[in-house]
Amino acid sequence: MTKTLLLLPGDGIGPEVTAVAKRVAGRLIAGGLDLAITEARFGGAAIDADGVPLTEETLAAAKAADAVLMGAVGGPQWAGQSYDKRPEAGLLALRAGMNVFANLRPARCFAALADASTLKRIYVDGLDILFVRELTGGVYFGEPRGVETLPDGQRRGVNTHVYTTSEIQRVARIAFDLARGRKGEVVSAEKGNVMEAGLMWREDVQALRDAEYPDIKLTHMLADNMAMQLVKNPKQFDVILTDNLFGDMLSDEAAMLTGSLGMLPSAAIGEPGRPGLYEPIHGSAPDIAGRGVANPCASILSLAMALRHSLGRADLAAAVEAAVEAALDAGARTSDIGGALTTAAMGDAILTHLK
């Protein structure tokens, strides 16, 4: 049966990099992949055209697709809006609406790029960490939230970090399952020394490990210590399990270890059989948008993750990943990784190596 891929190019460099991923998908379709591609407005582009960052029709299309490939959202022109009218609100609504509670963020350092990292080569060459970040709970969604004015005239701002056992264990399960296909080691991050909900996170993750995953080596680490360990000795990590907020911060840190934010893909998945949401980790990069110089690798590698996790074509995912690696080995570089290729030319270089 024909699978469907919905593209949400979004804002800034999103449309530029997504166009290259679309060309790669087009090549696979020409080679026999049974995939139908559709496209919809999202983020700031949807605010301008439809008044909201995510229309009901677009959310319905996302839920009906097999996979969704997003570009990026946001930009200075929408930054002054109230929270519900910002492009980012559309992304949070899309994640929640699709119920993609586990965000897989691989931080893998391609050998050809080890010198592009701000860390010395010995610390990052061969780096291969998989972040599993909880994506639909925690402080991003917790109630109560907001800013109120107190009787004495000062303001009081509130956001709530909240998790239930089932929310913790369903994302931990994904981390354990994925660790089984790797080194079998999971490090879980929280701040159980100051947060009750952090200690509960630790206990619930440990309980699941003891009940169902005795073969997995689970350790717990305070999130601040993990931030330090990631730059001190990043190769100690295999799979890292985090809540939504710590995962947001720590995955950006890990991404930079690999040389460029422009290289890293991500996959957001939920219950088996439900569509996944795929997106580069980099944002909309307003500073370089419209110039055709953005690195398309993260978007192409996100397409590869979609092929693996939602489209049932791990073979093609591996072929796309190999093509990116071969292009890098052959010296193809956009400016963020020390070269001068345009977005389109980088795409050409990768397509040359796609077997």
203 binds, among ligand IPM, Mg ion, none (CB under 5 to 8 A by kind): none
Active site residue 210: no
Cα gap 28→20, rounded to integer Å: 13
Query: What is the closest distance, in whole angstroms, from the C-beta atom of residue 36 to Mg ion in the complex?
Result: 30
Query: What is the closest distance, in whole angstroms, from the C-beta atom of residue 258 to ligand IPM in the complex?
Result: 15
Block residue for tokens 């991003």: 140
The one-letter amino acid at 99: N
Closer CB to ligand IPM, residue 19 or residue 91? 91
Cα gap 105→266, rounded to integer Å: 5
Query: What is the closest distance, in whole angstroms, from the C-beta atom of residue 283 to Mg ion in the complex?
Result: 8
Active site residue 191: yes
The interface with Mg ion within residues 235-254 (CB under 5 A) comprises 248
Active site residue 177: no
Residue of 203, 212, 248, 253 that binds ligand IPM (CB under 6 A) = 248
The one-letter amino acid at 27: R
Closer CB to Mg ion, residue 177 or residue 248? 248
Cα gap 104→126, rounded to integer Å: 19
Active-site residue, from 50, 125, 177, 252: 252
Query: What is the closest distance, in whole angstroms, from the C-beta atom of residue 162 to Mg ion in the complex?
Result: 20
Instruction: State the Cα torsion 71-42-158-225 to the nearest 10°.
Output: -10
For residue 75, give both structure tokens: 């930009």
Residue 128 binds ligand IPM, judged by CB under 6 A: no
253 binds, among Mg ion, ligand IPM, none (CB under 5 to 8 A by kind): none
Active site residue 123: no
Q: Which stretches within 13-55 are classed as H helix? A: 14-30, 44-50
Interior angle at CA 320, CA 319 and CA 326, nearest 5: 85
For residue 259, what is the DSSP state? S
Identify whether the C-beta of residue 261 lies closer than 8 Å to the C-beta of residue 282: yes
Residue of 8, 59, 65, 91 that binds ligand IPM (CB under 6 A) = 91
Active-site residue, from 50, 128, 177, 248: 248
Binding site for ligand IPM (CB under 6 A): 88, 91, 248
Binding site for Mg ion (CB under 5 A): 248
